Structure 1
Amino acid sequence: MIKEMTVLFVVCVNNEELFEQCEKQIKSVYIPPGFHMHILPIRHAKSLTSAYNQALSFPAKYKVYLHQDTFIMNPYFFMEMLVLFTLNKDLGLLGVIGCKELPENGIWCEGKELIGQVLEYKWGLYQLLSFKTEKFKRDRFIPVQAIDGLLMATQYDVEWREDVFDGFHFYDISQSLEFQKAGYVVGVANQTRPWCIHNIRDYVLDEATYEKYRKILVEEYPDVGLQKEEG
């Protein structure tokens, strides 16, 4: 197995029904001749960061970290991702939705200039979240400050901050910032149609835990939101 010709899909699993559909969709993605695709389900994870760090030693240049409730609907997802990474060597981390500028509170969806799209399924209804900026329509990806963790694709390995984010919130914002600290560009793919369905169904946010990790984020990265102030 050649590392440069291998893609690894990494999924934390605590719901086998969701993972079964997630895995089915991954297997429907076209992998060109010569490339190899592997799926790594990680069960009983104490945090997303600790789980994702387990994948760093796997010999795959390309890694796609996605939620068990993220279903890839674009059969040419890998091809489009591969083109973006091949043509843009400084592009380290790619997502499907995010923001160009994080606000001071660290919550990406409250940031300035939201970018990307995803089809959400919640409470029995489908809703298209689409943030298309007309001036970016000719670009294949848009550089951003942070992406959502429903799908995070990489062509370089940067360690996930399990020393700080030992739960399931704000790991994605942290990793977006860590990639930039390492000198890489973070981007959102400019999709003509959404690449993914995010099947969050009856998900209910644990607000106390979410707030705990939000405070940790802004303490760990005190420069979050400074671009907004300076602007």
Structure 2
Amino acid sequence: MSNPTILFVLCVNDESMFQACFRQLASLPAPHGYHVEVLPIRHASSMTSAYNEAITHPAQFKIYLHQDTLIVKQHMLLELIPLFLQNPSLGMVGVIGAENVPDNGIWWESSDCRGKVIEYRHDTYQLLSFERDRQQPEAQDYIKAAAIDGLFMATQYDVRWREDLFDGFHFYDVSQSFEFTQKGYEVGIANQEEPWCIHKCGDHFDAEAYEKARQTFLANYR
């Protein structure tokens, strides 16, 4: 055990939302011998630059979490850490994503979306769930993925985020999924009997910034 710490890393620009998230994280039981720390990063110019600030932290396990994501599976860490320890080739785990990314780079337009999360959008809770065809065998612990969503990205190895390419708040997650794969690690989506997270999705979407990041992704990974 290199360092018995589980580090949650969050970009913060809404203190009340962060405090709600922090209180919930502080209540999560950790596996024996581990303790939980939370690293809030404020005034970030981009997700990649913020997350790179956490790379030098000695914690082996880092969970990059949106401030508007709440862990509702109380024993999530008791499932996640053994999943990593039993699968040393598994570099990064999410709760939702895709087995294959379409040519346009938009993972959620894939025909192979997997995972589940409870979304809170327009004052309504809704379960977003993508299951495999029942004729296909389920992976025992996780589904191998090409990309995972940035609302929850847990790692057991450190790979630098591409702040040289992505200077905003889009495509940091898909690009990081590809970076892990290029370095020989697997990326997975946890098989959740019940959802691990609630994601309080915002209603604002910067289409121009998203499209700029998408073109950068296509130019460098396609």
CA distance in structure 2 between the aligned counterparts of 1:18 and 1:65, rounded to whole angstroms: 16
What's 1:47 paired with?
46
Which portions of structure 1, spanning 4 or more consecutive aligned residues, are displaced by more than 3 angstroms? none
- Residue 178 (str. 1) matches residue 179 (str. 2): yes
What's 1:211 paired with?
211
What's 1:99 paired with?
98
Instruction: State whether residues 49 and 160 of structure 1, in contact with CA within 8 Å, keep that contact through their aligned partners in structure 2.
Output: yes
For 2:53, what is the secondary structure of its paired residue?
helix
| TM superposition score normalised by structure 2 | 0.96
Q: 1:219: Cα distance to partner? A: 0.4
What's 2:155 paired with?
154
CA distance in structure 1 between the aligned counterparts of 2:137 and 2:46, rounded to whole angstroms: 35
The number of equivalent residue pairs is: 220
CA distance in structure 1 between the aligned counterparts of 2:126 and 2:11, rounded to whole angstroms: 24
What's 1:229 paired with?
none
What's 1:89 paired with?
88
Q: 1:138: Cα distance to partner? A: 5.2
- CA pair 94-138 structure 1, distance change in 2 beyond 3 A: closer
CA distance in structure 1 between the aligned counterparts of 2:15 and 2:104, rounded to whole angstroms: 34
CA distance in structure 2 between the aligned counterparts of 1:104 and 1:63, rounded to whole angstroms: 30
Q: Percent identity?
A: 51
Q: 1:6: Cα distance to partner? A: 1.1
Q: List runs of 5+ in structure 1 lacking aligned partners.
A: 223-231
Alignment of 1:6-17 (within 5 A): 6-17=5-16
Cα RMSD, aligned residues only:
1.1
Per-residue deviation, residues 185-224 of structure 1 (Å, max 9, x unmatched):
0000000111000011x421111111110111000112xx
Q: List runs of 5+ in structure 2 lacking aligned partners.
A: none
Q: 1:79: Cα distance to partner? A: 1.2
Per-residue deviation, residues 65-118 of structure 1 (Å, max 9, x unmatched):
000000001111111111110110000000000000000110010013110000
Instruction: State whether residues 69 and 198 of structure 2, in contact with CA within 8 Å, keep that contact through their aligned partners in structure 1.
Output: yes
